Structure 1
Amino acid sequence: MENYTVQKLKITCDEIEWLYAPDEEYVNYEGCKRYLQMIFPYRRTWEKNEKFPLVLFIPGSAWHKQEMYNNIPQYTHIAERGIFFAAMQYRESDIAVFPAQIYDVHNAMNYLIENAEKLHIDTERIFFAGNSSGGHIALLASFAMAHGLYSNQCIFPYTIKGVIAESAPADLMLCQSESLPPWMKTRPTADLLGVGSVKDNKALAVKASCEMYITKEVNLPPVLLLHGDQDSIVSVDQSRRLYKILKDNHKTVTYYELEGVNHGGAAFWTDDLIDYIEKFIQNP
């Protein structure tokens, strides 16, 4: 019988794993169910009081129906940095207009906080994040909450530690003045507001924009803004303007402009950029 040498490898690693839980229902509006895509930590044996910061991520979709599964592989890159990542589905403007999307954010948080202990979520480190229209909702929900607005559905009180907004249309009136991409026939901002014309409903558009909630007197969570300088869908002027207003009102804000980058895409999921996001979450 031949002799065989068994090769042994000595592996040293943290035994934590990251699991994907698809379609966790967080609310049911009379048959209109909304879901979370969760990427969360798992250990066979947990260390005492081990908890992880939470990122509630709001996908962009021009406020219409979201594609909830497209970016699951990219989401894992953030989760693996030691972050509980939950991407939320919100009611699209076709079935519910502003401010329904903000109420959805709070109902998602109701579910996550209620289950925080078994999910090992650190409720003292809650971050909102989103790209494009999702970035708008993340900013708006956190800024309005600082004023005590739209938060009557919050079953559990919580504080937002920071907001990460990628390519966000923060000013709906500025959106109105921008040219549409060739493939976009109507303005999604009008759909969000449930009106025929944004120009004819300026007060409502301002109410659904971030700027009106930025004052020197009201504290806002720290903000991380990311935007491609070649964005052909949401003008980079959106983030430039928001950054200036936040700075002028003495708010904590960091802004990175991505050179040669268009709207969304792989550039926002590179290791280098996730390094900046992780740094913000660990030290907002």
Structure 2
Amino acid sequence: MRDLVLLLFCLALGTGLSAQDQYQRMAIESSRAWLDIDYVGDRHIGHRLDIHLPAEGEGPFPIVISVYGSAWFSNNSKATTFSTGLGQKLLAGGFAVVSINHRASSDALFPAQIQDVKAAVRFVRANAPSFDLDPAFIGITGWSSGGHLSALTGNTNGIDSVSTEGETVNIEGSLGKFTDTDSQVDAVVDWYGPTDFLIMDTCGSSFSHDKPKSPESSLIGGPIQENPLKCLLANPIHYATANPPPFLIFHGDQDPLVPLCQSEKLHDQIQRRQAPSELVIVEGGKHGPGVMIEPYYDQMVAFFQKHAMGK
């Protein structure tokens, strides 16, 4: 079942089956790339990241971290940052691109995935001089489940752990050698990420997220409707950092897998906090097709450039 859902999500994204080959060819052609860096130090495939620098220009370069979409089922899909074309656009815009793996839900339940992302941010910030990176600006972007993790990263800037109704979730974690390093990000671009698990089926999804083996149920370790507190703690809209970064959110109004309401709720929640957020609703856009395309990539790059200049 998991393999089938993962295949459906990948096909919806249009990533194709030769992503790794395409990515490796690009890496070979680039003279400034580091591949498969173990950002935790435990040799887990889910704890690897790649760094690419722009082919032109003088560093240090501002940073954008990319988090792939896989329904949280994959621990090794960082190559899709480039097979989708997103990574190339960021490089051309003058950004260093850090594409990261994270543990799959079959490796570990939530909050392992957000702890991985936080550990990757800390590693990049702590080791920035070694890779010609400028830690003054670290943006983050991701699509689908990667959008969820990107939004959660931004909404938990400076939040170590949260207790709700007697249950505590450790967001920051203690992975890697750089636990004293700041994990905050400076800007977020979220591509149609889930934000409120419990309402996905009732607000427009043609895919049943309530089922026991759905991506969200697999992430938290049980059927989502039977575990509302675990869902709450995994939802980006549950968190309100005191230091919110600006958000840019893209979502197709015909998305059959992650309904538009998910981004609308996130956008509304950020605005209620009087934090900067822009929601771009793509008419006719689906789960990837029609949304992750050049005009919106250009808007993403311009958004990151604007906020990088401010830093």
TM-score, normalized by length of structure 1?
0.82
Structure-to-structure mapping, 1:109-188, within 5 angstroms: 109-149=121-161, 150-153=171-174, 154-175=179-200, 177=202, 179-181=205-207, 186-188=213-215
How many residues were matched structurally? 260
Q: Which amino acid aligns with 2:283?
A: E
Q: CA deviation at 1:26?
A: 1.7
The alignment status of 1:209 with 2:235, answered yes or no, reads yes
Equivalent pair of 1:180/1:187 in contact (CA under 8 Å): no
Equivalent pair of 2:145/2:193 in contact (CA under 8 Å): yes
SS of residue paired to 2:231? helix
Deviations, residues 61-98 of structure 1 (Å, cap 9, x unaligned): 00111533244241112111100111110000011011
Higher strand share: 1
State the alpha-carbon separation in 2 of the partners of residues 276 and 32 from structure 1: 32
Q: What are the ranges of 5 or more consecutive residues in structure 2 without an aligned counterpart?
A: 1-29, 162-170
Q: Which amino acid aligns with 2:287?
A: H
Q: Which amino acid aligns with 1:99?
A: P
Number of the residue aligned with 2:117: 105
SS of residue paired to 1:37? strand
Decide whether aligned partners of structure 1 residues 189 and 121 sit closer, same or farther in structure 2, where only a CA change above 3 A counts.
same
Number of the residue aligned with 1:9: none
Equivalent pair of 2:68/2:80 in contact (CA under 8 Å): no
1:282 to 287, 299, 305: 305
State the alpha-carbon separation in 1 of the partners of residues 78 and 231 from structure 2: 27
Number of the residue aligned with 1:199: 225
Decide whether aligned partners of structure 1 residues 193 and 176 sit closer, same or farther in structure 2, where only a CA change above 3 A counts.
farther
**Identity between Structure 1 and Structure 2 (%):** 26
State the alpha-carbon separation in 2 of the partners of residues 181 and 225 from structure 1: 22
128-137 or 144-153, which moves further after superposition? 144-153
* Higher Rg: 1
Deviations, residues 217-251 of structure 1 (Å, cap 9, x unaligned): x3311111011111111001111121122212211
The alignment status of 1:85 with 2:97, answered yes or no, reads yes
Higher helix share: 2
TM-score, normalized by length of structure 2?
0.75
Q: Which amino acid aligns with 2:78?
A: M
State the alpha-carbon separation in 2 of the partners of residues 148 and 220 from structure 1: 15
Q: What are the ranges of 5 or more consecutive residues in structure 1 without an aligned counterpart?
A: 1-16
